[in-house]
Amino acid sequence: MSNTDQIQRFMFDEQDIRGELTNLSEAYQTIVSKHQYPEKVQSLIGEWLAAASLLSEILKFDGSVILQARGAAGIGILMAECTHDQKVRAIAQVNGAITGDTIPQLFGAGHIVITISPKNGSRYQGIVPMDADSLAGCLEHYFEQSEQLPTRIWLECDGNQASGLFLQKLPGAQDQTDEEKEEQANQWEHITALASTIKQEELLQLDNETILHRLYHEEDLRLFESEDIEFDCTCSRERSAASIQTVGKEELLEIIKEEKQVSVTCQFCNETYSFDEIDIHAMFATNSVSDNSSETPN
């Protein structure tokens, strides 16, 4: 397969419809290998990652898309994040036995939140009700109701890799005639009906050009250059040090008296950062110098 760990956009030349194909293999395996998740949760993480990758292509700025679900059943939290340049990470919190197959059964009472987080600017959040059996169905309802953009999404994961197909009907010209609107609606129905024939193994195993040829060999479409997808965690020793400083110097030194060190483990990648007494004195001494240097003399 030539499109592993890549996302690729395409556009129908004669219709106001855009699409994307994404696949995560090595990136997905790296993420799930860092935790002992149940098989069902691993599969859901694959779907969440594929969905976050597809949604990130909507971004027109530097930033990220965070797709997070909170529930009250077997799965408490499931979160996937993808940046504008296709850096991904994900995590899940399992509260108990995983039962059922649908999103409402797996999460119980809860909701899905889509967070658009620009590098510069304010965050935007959209609430997605768990009103469909699958993540794809929930997202389709969200776009239809909140964004007024007819959207179809197919998400698959076999435990080794995850793939997704995204189709969206773009707004037509405001001065369209009734006949043109009807023709556009018919085109959308035709394109999505063809996409619905795709099988799980085809979406997971075939390269993008083969998939699109099988589905749309009679249509005129443009296939854009693909982008690589990779796992990337934003944790660091510096960030971990900054997080523990909120506890306070004296309390940290008390912990070190009992534990010999203070350790911070990243929930995403399981990397552990440890700090001893010398580290604690150094980080607060650095802060003190920085604070003093920023003061304006009288």
pLDDT band of residue 293 (cuts 50, 70, 90) is very low
DSSP string, the chain: ---TTEEEEEEETTSSEEEEEEEESHHHHHHHHTS---HHHHHHHHHHHHHHHHHHTT--SSEEEEEEEE-SSSEEEEEEEEETT-EEEEEEEE-S----SSHHHHH-S-EEEEEEEESSS--EEEEEE--SSSHHHHHHHHHHHHS---EEEEEEE-SS-EEEEEEEEPP--TT--HHHHHHHHHHHHHHHHHHTT--HHHHHHS-HHHHHHHHHTTS-EEEPPPEE-EE-----HHHHHHHHGGG-HHHHHHHHHHHSSEEEE-TTT--EEEE-HHHHHHHHHHHHHHHHHTSPP-
- Mean pLDDT to the nearest integer, 49-70: 91
Task: Flag whether pLDDT at 297 surpasses 50.
Answer: no
CATH number for 255: 3.90.1280.10
Give the pLDDT mean for 228-232.
Answer: 94
What is the per-residue pLDDT across 22-58, written as a single tens digit (0 to 9) for each? 999 999 999 999 898 999 999 999 999 999 999 998 8
* CATH at 138: 3.55.30.10
Structural domain span for residue 209: 6-172+180-231
251 shares a domain with 124 = no
Q: State whether 91 and 215 are in the same domain.
A: yes
Domain annotation covers residue 254: yes
